[in-house]
């Protein structure tokens, strides 16, 4: 959103993990699981994902997504897999594509977006800050702070005062 110091002047809704949420952990998780279920992961990743997450059958995964609580958290849990396998080009590519989708569907719809510094709070942006910076710079935006959690800066602020 764009905040002028008193109020939010512009906001493009992320629409949540069902309809949007581009660039989020759940967005990455959807991509990984979709490619896993379709057998599209590169050699070695298919087996690694199954081994690390003990996913069970296709029906087990579908049940977890549609019938169990907090499917968004389940999906987001797979962002760690992308981070842990960031040395594999597929994982780097899906992260860049997720951030590109975020920019295409959210950021680029703000008026004069290039005039703002891009700041980000959250573990996905923080852990993949190199890819996020690459995408932001590619759209003519300078990157400011990328922090893992708001508490990090709050603690620093209060320790300094």
Q: Which domain holds residue 144?
A: 2-160
CB of 41 within 8 A of CB of 35? Answer: yes
For the chain, how many structural domains are there in total? 1
Please report the pLDDT score of residue 161 as a whole number: 64
Give the CATH number of the domain where residue 86 resides: 1.10.720.160
Angle at 22 between CA 35 and CA 80, to 5 degrees: 60
CB of 135 within 8 A of CB of 113? Answer: no
| pLDDT value at 154 more than 80 | no
Tokens of 62: 């579908």
> Considering the entire predicted model, what is its pTM?
0.91
In sequence order, the β-bridge partners of residue 146 are 120
**Mean pLDDT along residues 121-139:** 97
Residue 62: Cβ within 10 Å count: 12
Considering the chain, what is the average pLDDT of its residues?
Answer: 94
Phi and psi angles of residue 27, each rounded to the nearest 5 degrees, phi first: -65, -45
Percent over 70 (pLDDT), the chain: 99
Q: At 58, which helix (H) or strand (E)?
A: helix 58-66
Angle at 72 between CA 64 and CA 89, to 5 degrees: 95
CA 7 to chain centroid: 26
CB-side neighbour CA atoms (13 Å) of 95: 26
């Amino acid at each position: 959103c764009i905040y002028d110091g008193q109020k939010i002047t512009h906001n493009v809704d992320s629409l949540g993990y069902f309809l949007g949420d581009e660039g989020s952990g759940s967005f990455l998780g959807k991509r990984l699981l979709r490619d896993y279920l379709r057998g599209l992961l590169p050699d070695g990743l298919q087996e690694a994902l199954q081994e690390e997450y003990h996913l069970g059958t296709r029906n087990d995964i579908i049940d977890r997504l549609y019938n169990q609580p907090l499917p968004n958290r389940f999906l987001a849990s797979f962002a760690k897999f992308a981070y842990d396998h960031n040395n594999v080009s597929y994982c780097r590519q899906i992260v860049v594509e997720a951030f590109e989708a975020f920019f295409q569907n959210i950021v680029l719809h703000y008026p004069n977006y290039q005039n703002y510094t891009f700041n980000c709070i959250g573990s996905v942006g923080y852990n993949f800050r190199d890819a996020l910076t690459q995408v932001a710079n590619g759209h003519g935006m300078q990157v400011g702070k990328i922090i893992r959690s708001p508490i990090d800066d709050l603690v620093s602020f209060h320790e300094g005062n």
